A and B are shown apart, each in its own frame.
Chain A
Amino acid sequence: MALLSFLDREHSIAPAQYSRWLVPPAALAIHLSIGQAYAFSVFNLPLSKVIGGAAASPDDWKLSTLGWIFSIAIVFLGLSAAIWGAWLERVGPRKAMFVSACCFGGGFLIGALGISTHQLWLLLLGYGVLGGIGLGLGYISPVSTLIKWFPDRPGMATGLAIMGFGGGAMVASPLSVALMSHFRDSRTHGLTETFVTMGIGYFLFMMIGVFLVRLPAASAAPAGSAAGRPLAHTTEQRSASATSTAASRQASLRQVPVNEAWRTPQFWLLWLALFCNVTAGIGVLGQASAMIQEVFTGRITAAAAAGFVGLLSLCNMAGRFIWSTTSDKIGRKPTYMIFFALGALLYFAVPTIGVRNVGVFVALYAVILSMYGGGFATIPAYLRDLFGTVQVGAIHGRILTAWSAAGLAGPILVNYIREYQISHGVAKAASYNTTMYIMASLLIVGFIANALVRPLPVGSAQRAGTPVAA
């Protein structure tokens, strides 16, 4: 019971003088863990050989079936973030992080049971459903807390956390390979042991976040007080508050609850903008290895293509921090304008100048993927500018359904258009050109959506101090 009360919102209020620089590591501990999801594909091939080993067995799981594990996890990420965002705001980040750690770690353990008994439904239920819920809760749990601690640099703060999600796959991929190699012997494939180790390991690592995270005192204030405006505890924080940008001052005027926010045109315009940005990036990310090998046939080996994928992951991760930090200086809307305008130009450039030179091709995609990551990392601060801080986590959760939708649309656009092109006689090297033009067009749609975003009319928003249930 003592543990449960430790998780309560009122027990996670920061004491005076608590350094806000302890909060980003808490967020990173969560995001570095759940970012593992993007490295799940390293398990697909070994999972398809559990029964037969090197010799194929008809009882083995098919690769196409195993692809559903990741897809279900991403769908449940979006659903859980949308459904439990308001609950998170009510109970605070510590309890949400703890539940996320239980779901994510537990998902691995149930998955391990599924592997050892060779029952796919247990893997789908464990890693896909339960793990996916852990992903969604973990993804949004530190966001509103960080925004409240860093009113002067909300983009940088959330960028740091969401950068961790990008970095998580970089840690998980070599870690998974090393663990499978360690546990593999003549009798076992090592997958069950790897899943158990990762489940326990990630649970413990996420506990760092649970123990470190604190809410700034004012965010725990009862309804009717100056909710959402964090008190400046330290000299550092008072200085930060004094240098707040115009956007943050504007945000301090509005505290819009999630049920009101998601009925505004601003929410849906941003949903569309995020959808366009993610769709344009996610389709390319999934096909990067095949694409560079087919565009530069005979010049790019499989190992070099894997290096290209790695480089794109690095740019995706770096972009999350760099672009979101930049948005604190130039504003959220101009940052998204750059994503869409520059992104569209670069996509148009790929089939024209990009295909002539490997270096140019790589550079174009490096910038494109940095803006893909930047879109994810900048959206929480954009929402905070429009709707205030008090339920920004819940609003962020709702808008992440754009990610789930893009996760379906992006790969379908790239794969099916490519297959259609090839079936109509287009050479493989040229089969991506139409897709690039469609991606560029999609970014133009995003540009228009972003351009239409206007601050909420004062009449429809609530002034700070007006009761808004957190």
Chain B
Amino acid sequence: MATDDGRSSPLSIALAWLAVGIPLAWGVSQTIIKSMALFR
């Protein structure tokens, strides 16, 4: 997660956000699809 001097690399930050962002985005997209029934 960190370089030799202890600095967090941009790649590690991006990976961390992707790890939580992808499942969250999937869940939100599934909910939006389900919600569409209300507007049909």
Chain A interface residues (CB < 8 Å from chain B): 15-19, 21-22, 25-26, 28-29, 32, 164, 167-175, 205, 208, 211-212, 301, 303-308, 310-311, 313-314, 317, 362
Q: Is the CB of A174 within 8 A of B30?
A: yes
| Interface residues of B, count at CB 8 A | 27
Contact present for A18 and B31 (CB under 8 Å): no
Other A-B contacts than A170-B24, A306-B37, A310-B34, 15 sampled, CB-CB below 8 A, are A17-B8, A21-B8, A21-B13, A32-B20, A167-B24, A168-B27, A169-B27, A208-B16, A208-B20, A212-B1, A307-B35, A308-B38, A311-B38, A314-B31, A317-B28
B-side interface mostly: helix
> By the criterion CB–CB under 8 Å, are B16 and A303 in contact?
no
Residues of A within 8 A of B39 (CB): 307
Assembled-state Cα–Cα distance A48/B13 (Å): 44
CA distance A151 to B19 in the complex (A): 25
Q: Is the CB of A164 within 8 A of B20?
A: yes
Q: Which residues of B contact A (CB under 8 A)?
A: 1-2, 5-8, 12-13, 16-17, 19-20, 23-24, 26-28, 30-32, 34-40
Known: A17-B8, A21-B13, A304-B38. A29 touches B27 (CB 8 A): no
Residue among A26, A172, A208, A310 with most chain B CB within 10 A: A310
User: Once bound together, how far apart are the Cα atoms of A287 and B2, in whole Å?
Assistant: 48
Query: Do B27 and A362 have beta carbons less than 8 Å apart?
Result: no
- What's the Cα separation between A211 and B16 when bound, in Å? 11
11 A-B residue pairs with CB within 8 Å: A15-B2, A22-B8, A22-B13, A25-B20, A170-B27, A171-B26, A173-B27, A173-B30, A205-B23, A208-B19, A304-B37
Q: How far is the CA of A22 from the CA of B32 in the complex (A)?
A: 28
In the complex, the answer to whether A32 meets B24 with C-beta atoms within 8 Å is yes
Q: Which residue of A lies closest to B16 (CB)?
A: A25
Beta-carbon contact of B6 and A15 below 8 Å: yes
Within the assembled complex, what's the spacing in Å between the Cα atoms of A317 and B31?
A: 11
B-chain residues with CB within 8 Å of residue A22 when the two chains form the complex: 1, 8, 12-13, 16
Residues of chain B contacted by A170 (CB below 8 angstroms): 24, 27-28, 30-31
Min CB–CB distance B37 → chain A (angstroms): 4
Q: Please name the residue on chain B nearest to A308 by beta carbon.
A: B38
- B12: chain A residues within 8 A (beta carbon): 22
State how many angstroms separate the Cβ of A112 from the closest Cβ of chain B: 22
User: Of B5, B27, B30, B31, which one neighbours A17 at CB under 8 angstroms?
Assistant: B5
Find chain B residues with CB under 8 A from A25 CB: 16-17, 19-20
Residues of B within 8 A of A18 (CB): 2, 6-8
Residues of B within 8 A of A26 (CB): 16
Question: Closest residue of chain B to A17, judged by CB?
Answer: B7
Please determine whether A314 and B32 come into contact, CB atoms closer than 8 angstroms.
yes
Q: Which residues of A contact B8 (CB under 8 A)?
A: 17-19, 21-22
CA separation between A28 and B24, bound complex, in Å?
A: 9
Which residue on chain A has the smallest CB distance to residue B39? A307
The CA of A28 and the CA of B21, in the complex, are separated in Å by 9
Q: How far is the CA of A17 from the CA of B1 in the complex (A)?
A: 12
B35 contact from A164, A169, A212, A314, Cβ within 8 A: A314
Asked if B19 and A314 sit within 8 Å, CB to CB, the answer is no
CB closest chain-B residue, reference A18: B8
Given contacts A18-B6, A21-B13, contact A314 B28 (CB under 8 A): yes
For residue B17, which residue of chain A has the nearest CB? A25
A170–B1 alpha-carbon span in the complex (Å):
29
A362 touches B38 (CB 8 A): yes
